[in-house]
Amino acid sequence: MNYTENLITLGGDFPEITVNTTQGVKKLPQAYKGKWWILFSHPADFTPVCTTEFVSFAKNYRKFKQLKAELIGLSIDQVFSHIKWIEWIEKNLKVKIPFPIIADDRGELADKLGMISPFKGSNTVRGVFIMDPKAKIRLMLYYPQEIGRNILEILRALKALQTSDKFKVATPANWPENEIIKDHVIVPPAQDEKTAARRRRQKNCFDWWFCHKKAGR
């Protein structure tokens, strides 16, 4: 195996693959062409931590849709297991799962995305991948099986990526609640001496390389 040819990296293309889901067969990434979308894996159906995550994703689904983003889950369970699990969630927890779940029972996509740890058995870890409308992988997160994800952080990261793309800026730590510049975004550093000198005199600049502003201004 040529490792570099199979390595999934930030900024790279999402691999083309046909998958079976609870909402029918989908061709990825074509099914989400022109859209932001988030693929997240879970270790197994009918497990407590995964159930809490799916309920949280479902309860926050409208917020993802408001950001024009789609969700799709994944585990190596078979599709009938997914169907029975989401039926259980709806019946017992009164929450409907509105997004599809991939039945990656052969582990093909999980293997491509590095979601099966050789130290954690055959189940997938808790992976998160955010793709942009060009199917470029813009963010990757991996959590161990025993730690549930913060769904609001995934929403925050999605909004930060969209803000960065739209306004050509960067976002600080904990944005939009940063301890230094609050909800401001970071302006790209000056690229020449004249601009650097001007920036040192500007109100929202700590120095020529650290300036900030309200997004959109």
Q: Contact, 117 vs 125, CB < 8 A?
A: yes
Q: Which of 48, 47, 49, 38 is nearest to 74 (CA)?
A: 38
Domain boundaries, given as residue ranges, for the chain: 3-150, 168-217
What pLDDT does 3 receive?
Answer: 35
Q: The domain 168-217 belongs to what CATH superfamily?
A: Antioxidant, Horf6; Chain A, domain2 (3.30.1020.10)
Q: Which amino acid is at 122?
A: S
The tokens 């169907």 sit on which residue? Answer: 83
pLDDT for 7 beyond 70: no
Within a 10 A sphere around the Cβ of 15, how many other Cβ atoms?
15
Question: Does residue 211 have an active-site annotation?
Answer: no
| Multiple choice CATH, 3-150, 3.50.50.60, 3.90.1140.10, 3.40.30.10, 2.30.40.10 | 3.40.30.10
**Considering the chain, what is the average pLDDT of its residues?**
93
pLDDT for 6 beyond 80: no
pTM attached to this predicted model? 0.92
At 130-186, the pLDDT tens digits run 999 999 999 999 998 899 999 999 999 999 999 999 999 999 999 999 999 999 999
Residue among 28, 38, 39, 50 flagged as catalytic? 50
